[in-house]
Chains A and B, each alone.
Chain A
């Protein structure tokens, strides 16, 4: 079946270091979303990428969608303690021809930042 894999599962960094999480899909995606979940909280939508090769930035966060639209990455420059949490990628769950907003999520990458 359709799968979305994320690596690494966990990452510990020193504050100020960079961080990258990678997302790979078993199928070509029409779009991909990224979410962040703080410890004890709920997932919060960060961004959606739609175009092949698209790169979007949000302050220290850079999101990239692969040329083949099967992979994506999230890069955080100079991590801060506020970046702590789990980052999920998600793509549309393919089911027939209609878009019902069903998503398939990666397992997430949990980021710990040491001050």
Chain B
């Protein structure tokens, strides 16, 4: 498996609280992605990054922000968590040479009560 870790792996929080999920890679890959996975919806792109401090929105970005201050770390923040953000969150990376071949982290299961 590619060197991708996510933290925390599980989190339970309350509505209205801020939450930050971390994705860490050891592959020095340029491109990083955050997805959420919900039953019946597959994987949906939240935000992605194509380099340090270069990020852009995906298809379901409302309520989420990201930051990438170092190549190896991509942070996903829920400024004020809502129950609709209960989901499994996956980080993915890809190299510049095989752009469409994505390697996924183990995932973070987030429950917002």
Residue in contact with A93 in the complex, picked from B45, B90, B107, CB distance below 8 Å: B45
A contact residues, total (Cβ < 8 Å): 25
Q: Are B33 and A105 in contact (CB under 8 A)?
A: no
Tally of contacts, chain A with chain B, CB under 8 A: 61
Number of interface residues of B (CB under 8 A): 24
The 8 A CB mask of A26-57 against B (1 = contact, 0 = none) is 00000101000000011111001000000000
Docked CA distance A6–B103 (Å)? 21
Asked, given contacts A42-B107, A43-B90, whether A103 binds B40 with beta carbons under 8 Å apart, the answer is no
Residues in B33-65 with C-beta less than 8 Å from chain A: 33, 40-45, 48, 50, 56, 58-59
Q: Interface residues of B: mostly helix, strand, loop or mixed?
A: strand
Chain A, interface SS category = loop
**Cβ contact within 8 Å between B44 and A105:** yes
Chain B interface residues toward A at CB < 8 A = 31, 33, 40-45, 48, 50, 56, 58-59, 90, 94, 99-107
Binding site for B on A (CB under 8 A): 1, 6, 9, 31, 33, 41-45, 48, 88, 90, 92-93, 99-108
